[in-house]
Amino acid sequence: MTALALPAAALASPDGEPESLLPPPPAAKADPVLRPMPVAPEAVTTAPPVVDRWQISDARQLLALVRGIGSEGLEPKDYDIPTLSAAIAQGAGPDLDATADRIFGWLIEDLRDGRTPMEARKQWFVVDPDADTMPTAKVMADALAAHDVAGVVAELAPTNPDYAALKDALAQTPASSTKRIAMIQANMDRWRWLAHDLGDQYLLTNVPEFQLRLTVNDKIVRTYKTIVGKPGRTATPQLAEIVEGVIFNPTWTVPQSIVKGEGLGAKVMANPAWAKAAGYKGTRAANGMITVVQQPGDNNSLGRMKLDMPNEHAIFLHDTPSRGLFNNDMRALSHGCVRTERALELAITMAIIGKGADKDEAVAISTSGKYTRVGLKKTFPVYITYFTMGRDINGQLRTFDDIYGRDAPVLASFDAPRVANRARKTSEEVVQIIDDLQT
């Protein structure tokens, strides 16, 4: 081991003895230089690579889709084809993403909800649930993830056979038949105003056809003639409601517009014998107000049954004692409610398949003459629609008279530019429908 060499002075003390060999005091140290600690390889994070939202192949699918969207009764010019084509030519990137998102969003909305703005859907009080069950962002994300942009048509376009019949008719119509094409487009769009899934079993009445259908798995199993509202303020509105029960032998509380406005109250109070024969029971309150209730019976204005389908319009499907009117070709005769042919048959059928009563029970209730409500364990949707072109109850494509003049605003909306950010619910005033004295 090498000896530690020390200066002689350090070894000598005043008395000649060597000093203790203590380590010298530590020298002053410079401030340390701070250096980053090494990071384990697995802890290193790097920014993800930038991935373009729209691949060119997907954008080209979208371009082909909008160019051919006329087959679905929509207008290719609505979807800014030149801008999309230019964005594709520039390649993937933010500009293509923004353009394709915008155009695809428009297309999803129009296929799912209909192109017609709410203000052109006169007396249309149906709230379509499809925007909630098939939101635009999810439909778009799924289509891009699967690289199946064209598949959006199959997902969103109505699947009802009546829509398919209109689509086939459109394909077979010459381009020169512009009026027919416009009529087909308008009625294809009306199917998009309804829920994509109408249900396995439902009632649907097409007002201009004067027919009601009981439909199971998209097949018509029963049909009934109908009488609907007179044109004007008493026109039947379009609704989607739920039948919760069947009322046999209903009473009818006559609206004040008839009791007072048409003088029925005064007539009932002044002619007790006539009132009793007609089945009316009148009472006068302390303030002089007259209330008239028509009792169950053959002359009841609601006939022998009505379907209980609560709604703010007070509209429902019911029987009528004036059954001879079903022989008329033009049956827009009521104050707005839908009178139904063979109504007892319909009521008993609904009670049975809705598991509210078996056949014998339903028949006994219907013939009892007593007001009875039969609740349904299985409720039914009922759609009151307005199609001026479509399949009739025999499956034949035909046109129906536009009895309320509701085609014009729909057709005009197709001639106008597409409306963005459309309302989902009408702002029209709710017209409370009343049914009238039978004539």
Residue 77 is classified by DSSP as G
Distances (CA, A) of 64 to 69, 164, 347: 9, 21, 50
Q: Flag residues of the chain having pLDDT under 70.
A: 1-52, 431-439
Residue 2 has a pLDDT of: 40
Strands (E), 154-210: 201-206
CA distance 420 to 422: 6
Using CA atoms, how far residue 297 sits from 276, 283, 302, in Å, is: 11, 19, 9
394: left (phi over 0), alpha (psi -120 to 50) or beta: alpha
Q: Which residues contact 386 (CB under 8 A, 6 or more apart)?
A: 124, 190, 206, 207, 208, 238, 404, 406
Q: Which residue has the tokens 């230019």?
A: 86
Nearest to 186 by CA among 402, 340, 432: 402
Quickly list H helices, 114-160.
Answer: 130-133, 136-146, 151-156
Q: What are phi and psi of 423, to 5 degrees?
A: -70, 150
Cβ neighbours around 250 below 10 Å, total:
24
pLDDT at residue 52, rounded to an integer = 62
* C-alpha distances out from residue 145 to 13, 53, 59, 169, Å: 90, 10, 13, 34
pLDDT score, position 1? 40
Helix-strand-coil percent breakdown of the chain, rounded to 5?
35, 20, 45
d(CA 234, CA 52): 56
Burial of 119 (0-12, 13-18, 19+ CB in 10 A): middle
Give the pLDDT score at 37. 44
> Contact, 104 vs 149, CB < 8 A?
yes
Q: Which domains does the chain have, with CATH numbers?
A: 56-172 (no CATH), 198-251+296-386 (2.40.440.10)
| Contact (Cβ atoms closer than 8 angstroms) between residue 138 and residue 176 | no
Distance between first and last Cα of the chain: 133
| CA gap 67, 82 in Å, rounded | 11
CB 252 within 8 A of CB 300: yes
Within a 10 A sphere around the Cβ of 64, how many other Cβ atoms? 12
Q: What is the pLDDT of residue 255?
A: 84
Please tell me the distance from the alpha carbon of residue 419 to that of residue 425, in angstroms, as a whole number: 15
